[in-house]
């Protein structure tokens, strides 16, 4: 949902490099609260105009012809001519949206830099002020939706810096641009029709319906379909106003997290230590086991935080075996439904922890470990394929298949099999000529 990353392919890369399945990404966009916002590690270190751009599909219709077809479809779905014509008055495609849509940044930010920004002292301070300021709403929201205030405020902080940055672009114009000639036209078209529905219901005017270039809106950065399924009027003025009402925004986000399985009072995750000679191949998001079984396998938990021994958890190594290790529980999965990025979910969890005054991480990040760039990730996938592994297509996205291939290669070398791609691994795959 973060406008800066939504629809960003590199975000998916990062995501993937964190060993996530990318169910919320563009291929399956119906589920997440926002369109695939990406993370962290995939954030470009260069301005969007610099990275190599994928070729744009050439639209077969003029924009006016396309708009006319869309108008017929919208009216057939019950949108009034007045709503449609007001929303589209003066609307033309926005080239900046297409540039953002096709951007494939070469460089990614390390997860520790992303997390440092997400939990910066100013963000923690502002979040604690919001916890106090919104105390009454947060208590009522907790009673209704069962989402703990600190983590709900952490989502708010990640999405819009507590309502400060929501995106300034016309949602109708952005989505019209993407539906007309973007990379995922059908998805954008369904969001555009959902946005027209919001306008027709009168929750917000077209002029005030602002958001990210990808159509993520308001303080929660909901895409229009998520808005229609989960936005709530909590302040009782009759409108679901996630742009201007913090109570509506917080309740809407809580509604979504609650529907995604958030369990009140349970931790999202715990930092853990791993015994010497631990089998790092166990650290895979698909490998979920009861807490007590992890403890038998050599995961050292200093405080189980009231969790029962049968609480299901996965072991997460966001920067490989050299960095911090976490057991992540059901609430982590609930955060991933909001935004399917491991880095994002970690950021929400750690920011929420800081808002509650919990201790910072104990383990150090491998600061000397460079992130692979996009061309290096593609080279890695090509080299793995050439050596008989099956990393999937060489698209620069480190997904489940690439991770498994990396793991298999690491095991063949007798290395720690954490599935985390490094420069050393790439060099081992590509011996100097
Ligand atoms: Ca309201």
Query: Can you list the domains of the chain with their CATH numbers?
Result: 269-355 (1.10.530.10), 374-429 (no CATH)
Give the distance (Å) from ligand 1 centre to CA of residue 250. Answer: 11
Q: Which residue has the higher pLDDT, 275 or 46?
A: 275
* Across 361-365, average pLDDT: 96
Where do the H-state alpha helices sit in 18-148?
63-76, 81-88, 95-102, 111-118, 121-133, 135-145
Dump pLDDT digits (tens) for 315-361: 999 999 999 999 999 999 999 999 999 999 999 999 999 999 999 99
| pLDDT on residue 306 | 83
Query: Phi, psi (5° rounding) for residue 397?
Result: -105, 120
Sequence-ordered alpha helix ranges (H) in 18-110: 63-76, 81-88, 95-102
| pTM as predicted | 0.87
Give the model's pLDDT for residue 201.
96
Nearest residue to 403 (alpha-carbon basis) of 2, 9, 144, 22: 22
pLDDT of residue 34: 54
Distance 262 CA to ligand 1 centre (A): 24
Q: Is the pLDDT of residue 27 over 80?
A: no
Q: What is the pLDDT of residues 392-413, one digit of tens each?
A: 999 999 989 999 999 999 999 9
User: How much distance in Å is there from the Cα of 240 to the middle of ligand 1?
Assistant: 5
pLDDT digits (tens, 9 = 90+) for 90-123: 999 999 999 999 998 898 899 999 999 999 999 9
The 10s digit of each residue's pLDDT in 32-85 is 555 444 333 333 333 333 344 455 557 789 999 999 999 999 999 999 999 999
Residue labelled with tokens 């563009």: 26
Around ion ligand 1, residues with a beta carbon closer than 5 Å are 233, 235, 237, 239, 241, 245, 248
Distance 199 CA to ligand 1 centre (A): 15
* Whole-number pLDDT of residue 54: 52
Read off φ and ψ for residue 292, nearest 5 degrees: -65, -30
Q: Which of the four pLDDT bands, split at 50, 70 and 90, describes residue 305?
A: confident
Residue 157: per-residue pLDDT: 98
For CA atoms 164, 170, 175, 181, give the dihedral sign.
negative
- Tell me if 74 sits within 8 A of 196, measured CB to CB: yes
State in Å: Cα 232 to ligand 1 middle.
7
Any long-range contacts for 51-57 (C-beta under 8 Å, 24+ apart)?
51/103, 51/104, 51/105, 51/106, 52/104, 52/106, 53/99, 53/102, 53/103, 53/104, 54/102, 54/104, 54/183, 55/102, 56/98, 56/102, 56/181, 57/181, 57/183, 57/185
Instruction: Answer whether 324's CB lies under 8 Å from 349's CB.
Output: no
Could you tell me the distance, in angstroms and rounded to a whole number, from the CA of residue 173 to the centre of ligand 1?
Answer: 25
Distance 205 CA to ligand 1 centre (A): 14
Residue 231 CA to ligand 1 center (angstroms) comes to 10
Please answer whether residues 338 and 32 qualify as being in contact, where contact means their C-beta atoms are separated by less than 8 angstroms. Answer: yes
- In angstroms, the CA 341 to CA 358 distance is 23
Residue labelled with tokens 């470990």: 369
| Sheet with 299-300, side-by-side order of all strands | 289-290, 312-316, 325-328, 269-274, 299-300
Does the pLDDT value for residue 269 go beyond 80? yes
Which two three-digit tokens encode residue 234?
Answer: 């909590």
pLDDT at 178: 98
Looking at residue 37, what is its pLDDT? 43
- Alpha-carbon distance of 333 to 349, in angstroms, equals 11
CA of 203 to the centre of ligand 1 (A): 8
- The sign of the torsion formed by the CA atoms of 114, 15, 331, 259 equals positive
For residue 141, give the 3-state DSSP assignment.
helix
Q: What does each C-alpha distance from 162 to 122, 130, 145 come to in angstroms?
A: 12, 8, 19
**336 vs 260: CA distance, rounded Å:** 9
Asked if 16 and 397 count as a contact pair (C-beta separation under 8 A), the reply is yes
CA–CA distance, 241 with 243 (Å, rounded to integer): 5
Give the distance (Å) from ligand 1 centre to CA of residue 13. Answer: 37
| 333: alpha, beta or left? (left if phi > 0; alpha if psi -120 to 50) | alpha
Quickly state the pLDDT bin for 1 (edges 50, 70, 90): very low
Evaluate if residue 9 carries a pLDDT over 80.
Answer: no
């Amino acid at each position: 949902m973060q406008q800066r990353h939504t629809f960003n392919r590199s975000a998916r890369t990062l995501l993937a490099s964190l060993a996530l399945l990318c169910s919320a990404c563009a291929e399956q966009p119906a589920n997440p609260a926002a369109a695939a916002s990406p993370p962290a590690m995939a954030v470009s270190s260069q301005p969007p105009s610099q990275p190599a751009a994928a070729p744009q599909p050439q639209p077969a219709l003029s924009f006016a012809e396309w708009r006319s077809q869309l108008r017929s479809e919208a009216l057939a779905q019950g949108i009034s001519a007045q709503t449609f014509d007001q929303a589209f008055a003066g609307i033309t495609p926005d080239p900046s949206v297409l540039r953002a849509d096709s951007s494939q940044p070469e460089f990614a930010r390390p997860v520790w830099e992303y997390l440092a920004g997400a939990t910066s002292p100013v963000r923690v301070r502002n979040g604690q002020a919001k916890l106090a300021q919104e105390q009454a709403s947060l208590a009522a929201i907790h009673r209704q939706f069962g989402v703990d205030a600190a983590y709900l405020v952490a989502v708010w902080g990640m999405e819009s810096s507590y309502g400060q940055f929501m995106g300034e672009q016309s949602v109708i114009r952005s989505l019209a641009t993407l539906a007309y000639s973007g990379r995922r036209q059908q998805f954008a078209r369904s969001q555009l029709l959902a946005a027209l529905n919001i306008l027709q219901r009168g929750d917000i005017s077209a002029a005030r319906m602002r958001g990210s270039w990808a159509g993520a809106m308001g303080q929660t950065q909901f895409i229009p379909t998520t808005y229609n399924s989960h936005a709530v009027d909590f302040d009782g003025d009759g409108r679901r106003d996630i742009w201007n009402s913090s109570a509506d925004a917080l309740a809407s986000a809580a509604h979504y997290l609650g529907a995604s399985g958030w369990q009140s009072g349970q931790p999202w995750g715990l930092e853990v230590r791993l015994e010497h000679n631990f089998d790092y191949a166990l650290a895979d998001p698909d490998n979920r086991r009861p807490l007590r079984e992890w403890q038998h396998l050599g995961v050292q938990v200093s405080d189980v935080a009231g969790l029962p021994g049968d609480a299901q958890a996965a072991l997460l190594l966001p920067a490989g075996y050299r960095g911090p290790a976490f057991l992540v529980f059901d609430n982590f999965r609930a955060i991933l439904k909001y935004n399917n990025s491991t880095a994002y979910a970690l950021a929400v969890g750690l920011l929420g922890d800081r808002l509650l005054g919990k201790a910072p991480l104990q383990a150090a990040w491998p600061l000397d470990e460079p992130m692979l760039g996009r061309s290096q990730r593609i080279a890695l996938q090509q080299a793995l394929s050439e050596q008989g592994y099956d990393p999937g297509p060489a698209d620069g996205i480190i997904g489940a298949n690439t991770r498994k291939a990396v793991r298999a290669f690491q095991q063949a070398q007798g290395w720690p099999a954490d599935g985390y791609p490094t420069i050393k691994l790439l060099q081992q795959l590509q011996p100097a000529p």
